[in-house]
Amino acid sequence: MGHVNIRIKIMPSLSSVNLDEIKSDFKKIIESHDGKGCSFSEEPIAFGLKAVIATFIYPEEKEFEPVENKLEKIKNVSSIQMIDMRRAL
């Protein structure tokens, strides 16, 4: 089976939230579900608020919805949004 490249936008609940903690929790969840290669970037939104953009590889044959549900429950995360999902070659 193959893999998919996934990009997710993570919105923190406040501008004062420690983004490194969110990234760490996110990476733990992804890696515990056989995802790998997590990398992060930050995107300024407004008034000091920054979104975290996570990019990683996930097994194509595994369902992703249960992982999304766990990601939404990360402390200090307001919302997550899948930006892109495409098959890795």
Quote the pTM value.
0.90
Q: CATH code at 74?
A: 3.30.70.60
Which domain, by its residues, includes 63? 3-88
State percent of the chain over pLDDT 90. 80
In the chain, the amino acid numbered 79 is S
When divided into structural domains, the chain yields a total of 1
Residue 88, pLDDT score = 79
pLDDT at 3 over 80: yes
- How far is it, in rounded angstroms, from Cα 6 to Cα 16? 27
Handedness of CA 24, 40, 29, 2 (dihedral sign): negative
pLDDT at 14 over 80: yes
Contact indicator for 12, 66 with CB cutoff of 8 Å: no
